């Protein structure tokens, strides 16, 4: 399994042609208390960069983009009742959706964990 990060603070774990998408610990700490998450419906086709999910903190709403193209396999149903999972476990149980990748080569341009750590350190 490999983990990639976007400059917009999404992460994607890839096993075979299935990716699991969430937002980074840095992103959740910037957003603050998360009170609502809207995840995409199963079967929805997303192109890389499309609006895929909405995350709302007490103060603001943010879009989460599809880090890669594909078809949504499932959204994380646990976030409907417990949106705070995104604060508590952003890079594990607080995942947003799983996606069947249509073009795994899109991952090549993304950052690995080391590169992302350097990226946020420079922000």
- Rounded least distance, CB 16 to another protein, Å: 25
- Rounded least distance, CB 6 to another protein, Å: 9
At 34, is the secondary structure helix, strand, or coil? strand
- Rounded least distance, CB 84 to another protein, Å: 9
Name the residue with tokens 């042609």.
17
Query: What is the C-alpha to C-alpha distance for residues 112 and 99, in angstroms, rounded to an integer?
Result: 19
Reduce the secondary structure of 41-89 to three states and give it as a string.
CCCCEECCCCEEEEEEECCCEEEEECCCCEEEEEECCHHHHCCCHHHHC
CB-nearer residue toward another protein: 60 or 118: 60
CB-nearer residue toward another protein: 17 or 39: 39
Q: Which residues bind another protein (CB under 8 A)?
A: 8-10, 23, 27, 32-33, 35-36, 38, 54-65, 80, 83
CB-nearer residue toward another protein: 49 or 104: 49
CB-nearer residue toward another protein: 70 or 83: 83
Query: What is the C-alpha to C-alpha distance for residues 81 and 29, in angstroms, rounded to an integer?
Result: 20
């Amino acid at each position: 399994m490999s983990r990639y990060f976007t400059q917009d603070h999404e992460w994607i774990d890839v096993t075979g042609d299935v990716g699991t998408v969430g937002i980074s610990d840095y992103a959740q700490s910037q957003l603050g208390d998360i009170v609502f998450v809207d995840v995409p419906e199963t079967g929805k086709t997303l192109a890389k960069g499309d609006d895929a999910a909405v995350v709302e903190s007490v103060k603001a709403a943010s879009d989460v983009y599809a880090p890669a193209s594909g078809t949504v396999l499932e959204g994380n149903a646990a976030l409907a009742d417990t949106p705070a999972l995104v604060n508590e476990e952003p890079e594990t149980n607080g995942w947003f959706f799983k996606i069947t990748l249509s073009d795994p080569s899109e991952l090549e341009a993304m950052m690995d964990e080391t590169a992302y750590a350097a990226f946020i350190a420079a922000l």
